[in-house]
């Protein structure tokens, strides 16, 4: 659907009205990026006047509100940046005010049908990245996965996606859920391993020793950009070095959860080295 335009009398240019529902991590990043462009008129809604909402207003000089009645029904795009449980609730509220613009949720797991009642024009804007409030990312390198309820909305969504990223990919809800699972395994689970490593070093040596692992972590990530992960796997499990594994397991006597994890992951690594293995 072609976006409606609002003329800014000061700039003398047409502006696109954006409403961001939510004031958390992703909301901060969306507002941070769009606020650099003079062609967007941004309003951020937060359930209450939180510290985050105040910071967004102060940092990006955008309008904010904690009153739903302040949300206009004539915005061009509505970004729903809430937790999955609140997506449908936000969609129903947008239905009540008869929102005319493109309504988008930003979840990797919620089906597009979760916002179907919000408007005739709905879609999904899912950026595949880890976002932390106040910590910038390079949006150009963040792949954005999109889905829309109709061709015109898809066209508008593609254009919006390109405002953020050089990689915009169409993906349906079933496919996106599978991608999200893979992202959790690759990102969240890896970070859990970093946390375990950090905690172990903090207890056995010194937490500062974790910094010595950075070159290893970065080099591993660098290698998998050009090779399949299984083909660049190293370590005692791959080498079938039982002696080293025994020594490691002995050191984890006081850490039963980590000991169990060490054994399970070692078995997984061995299995992954077998050709045509299905995990």
Q: Is residue 278 part of a domain?
A: no
Report the 10 Å Cβ neighbour count for 209: 14
What residues contact residue 114 under an 8 Å CB cut-off, 6+ apart?
87, 88, 91, 105
Asked if residue 69 is part of any domain, the answer here is yes
CATH number at residue 260: 1.10.1040.20
What's the CATH code of the domain at 88? 3.40.50.720
For 134-183, what is each residue's pLDDT tens digit? 999 999 999 999 999 999 999 999 999 999 999 999 999 999 999 999 99
- Cα–Cα distance for residue pair 27/21, rounded to 1 Å: 8
If asked whether residues 184 and 148 sit together in one domain, one would say no
d(CA 217, CA 12): 50
Please name which of 139, 163, 162, 145 lies closest in space to residue 105, comparing C-alpha atoms.
145
Q: Is there a single domain that holds both residue 183 and residue 162?
A: no
Residues 156 and 201 in one domain: no
User: Does residue 279 belong to any structural domain of this protein?
Assistant: no
Closest CA to 19 of 86, 111, 91: 91
Domain that holds residue 156: 6-171
Pairing of strands 40-45, 63-65: parallel
Tell me which of 171, 186, 207 is where a domain ends.
Answer: 171
Is residue 277 in some structural domain?
no
Last residue of a domain, one of 140, 171, 202: 171
User: 198 and 120 in one domain?
Assistant: no
pLDDT tens track, the chain, 279 positions: 444 445 444 445 678 999 999 999 999 999 999 999 989 999 999 988 789 999 999 999 999 999 999 999 999 999 999 999 999 999 999 999 999 899 999 999 999 999 999 999 999 999 999 999 999 999 999 999 999 999 999 999 999 999 999 999 999 999 999 999 999 999 999 999 999 999 999 999 999 999 999 999 999 999 999 999 999 999 999 999 999 999 999 999 999 999 999 999 999 999 999 876 565
Provide the domain count of the chain. Answer: 2
Residue 102 lies in a domain: yes
Question: Residue 71 contacts by C-beta under 8 Å, 6 or more apart in sequence?
Answer: 19, 21, 43, 45, 65, 94, 97
Q: Give the Å distances, CA to CA, from 60 to 30, 43, 47, 137.
A: 11, 11, 19, 16
Residues 162, 185, single domain; the answer is no
């Amino acid at each position: 659907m072609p976006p409606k335009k609002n003329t800014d009398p000061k700039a003398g240019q047409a502006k696109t009205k954006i409403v961001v529902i939510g004031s958390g991590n992703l909301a901060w990043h969306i507002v941070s990026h769009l606020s650099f462009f003079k062609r967007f008129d941004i309003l951020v809604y937060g359930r209450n006047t939180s510290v985050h909402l105040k910071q967004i207003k102060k940092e990006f000089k955008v309008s904010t509100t904690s009153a739903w009645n302040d949300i206009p029904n004539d915005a061009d795009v509505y970004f729903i940046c809430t937790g999955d449980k609140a997506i449908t609730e936000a969609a129903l509220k947008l239905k009540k005010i008869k929102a005319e613009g493109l309504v988008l949720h930003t979840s990797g797991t919620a089906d597009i049908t979760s916002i179907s009642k919000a408007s005739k024009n709905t879609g999904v804007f899912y950026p595949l990245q880890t976002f932390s409030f106040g910590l910038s990312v390079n949006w150009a390198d963040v792949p954005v996965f999109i889905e829309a309820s109709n061709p015109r909305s898809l066209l508008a969504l593609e254009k919006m996606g390109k405002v953020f990223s050089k990689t915009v990919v169409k993906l349906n809800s079933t496919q996106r859920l599978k991608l999200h699972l893979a992202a959790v395994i690759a990102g969240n689970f890896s970070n859990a391993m970093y946390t375990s490593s950090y905690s172990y070093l903090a207890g056995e040596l010194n937490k500062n020793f974790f910094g010595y692992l950075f070159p290893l972590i970065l080099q591993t990530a660098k290698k998998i950009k050009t090779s399949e992960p299984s083909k660049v796997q190293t370590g005692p499990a791959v080498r079938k070095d039982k002696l080293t594994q025994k020594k490691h397991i002995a050191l984890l006597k006081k850490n039963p959860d980590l000991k169990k994890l060490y054994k399970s992951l070692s078995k997984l690594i061995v299995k992954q080295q077998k050709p045509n293995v299905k995990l």
